[in-house]
């Protein structure tokens, strides 16, 4: 609310997967429920931030007091992020497809046992682009979904992408689509191991941590 510690701050959140069309009826996508990103948008709004959430295709209700912009593809998400700037805080939790397809205008038909080849084109890295932008948010946070060497990979990603924090997510277990998450918060200062908690609890803790950092 208006007396929350993030009142007067703007926040941008990306959430969910992107869908990259192959033809009018098929797509490539990453596995992502969007639950953690939606919970983060909700938690930031609860602390008083003015939140814009750019969501890929997911069937989740819009959290209270969050402005939601729905997109399908990585290119649409990149444009929507650009249009939502400036923002004090950006949390890019979306599982963006690394490649898009040079899509066919008409449905691809089966052709006597010959599978079609897909020509893939690299998508822009929204996080890395934002890190270099003139409108770089004060606090820029990325996600890393890892199955091994979680901290090493997250520290490398922090440096490579030029963000301030990485929320490193251990996806070796049953995280995808589930309601709990095991997080390491990796910053340039060090690493915090957070206890396994619900996605709502992780979001609340992250929002409080952000409020402290901006104080
Ligand atoms: O490189 P990787 O996909 O593992 O990085 C994950 C982080 O980068 C996440 O914060 C994700 O939202 C962001 N990302 C992005 N644009 C991409 C790929 C990843 O913003 N094209």
pLDDT digits (tens, 9 = 90+) for 146-192: 889 999 999 999 999 999 999 998 888 665 667 888 999 999 999 99
Which atom of ligand 1 is the closest one to the Cα of 97? 21
Q: In terms of Cα–Cα distance, which of 176, 20, 12 is closest to 97?
A: 20
Ligand 1 centroid, distance to 97 Cα (angstroms)? 8
Q: Has 127 been labeled as part of a binding site?
A: yes
Q: Any catalytic annotation for residue 30?
A: yes
Question: 17 exposed, middle or buried (CB, 10 Å; 0-12, 13-18, 19+)?
Answer: buried
Catalytic residue among 3, 30, 123, 181: 30
Ligand 1 site, residue 56, Cβ cutoff 6 A: no
Q: Above 70 in pLDDT, residue 51?
A: yes
pTM score of the predicted model:
0.95
More confident site: 175 or 72: 72
The overall average pLDDT reported for the chain is: 95
Ligand 1 centroid, distance to 115 Cα (angstroms)? 30
Q: Are strands 50-55 and 66-70 parallel, antiparallel or unpaired?
A: parallel
82-98 pLDDT, tens digit per residue, is: 999 999 999 999 999 99
- Give, for 206, the enclosing helix (H) or strand (E): helix 199-213
CA 203, CA 112: separation in Å to the nearest integer? 50
CA 207, CA 63: separation in Å to the nearest integer? 15
Bridge partners for 89 per DSSP: 11, 139
User: Tokens at residue 82, please?
Assistant: 């650009």
Ligand 1 centroid, distance to 69 Cα (angstroms)? 19
The predicted structure's pLDDT at residue 175: 59
């Amino acid at each position: 609310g208006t007396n929350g510690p993030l009142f007067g701050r703007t926040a941008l959140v990306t959430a969910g997967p992107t869908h990259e069309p192959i033809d009018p009826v098929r797509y490539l996508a990453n596995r992502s429920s969007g639950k953690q990103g939606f919970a983060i948008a909700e938690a930031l709004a609860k602390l008083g931030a003015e939140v814009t959430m750019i969501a890929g295709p997911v069937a989740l209700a819009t959290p209270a007091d969050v402005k939601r912009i729905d997109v399908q593809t990585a290119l649409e998400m990149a444009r929507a992020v650009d249009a939502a700037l400036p923002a004090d805080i950006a949390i890019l939790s979306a599982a963006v497809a690394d490649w898009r397809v040079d899509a066919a205008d008409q449905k691809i038909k089966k052709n006597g046992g010959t599978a079609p080849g897909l020509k893939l084109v690299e998508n822009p890295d929204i996080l890395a682009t934002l890190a270099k932008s003139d409108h770089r948010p004060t606090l820029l946070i990325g996600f890393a979904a890892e199955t091994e060497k979680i901290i090493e990979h997250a520290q490398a990603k922090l440096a490579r992408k030029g963000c301030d924090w990485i929320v490193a997510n251990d996806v070796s277990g049953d995280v995808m689509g589930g309601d709990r998450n095991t997080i390491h918060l990796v910053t340039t200062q060090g690493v915090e191991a957070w206890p396994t908690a619900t996605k709502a609890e992780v979001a609340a803790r992250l929002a409080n941590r952000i409020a402290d950092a901006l104080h």
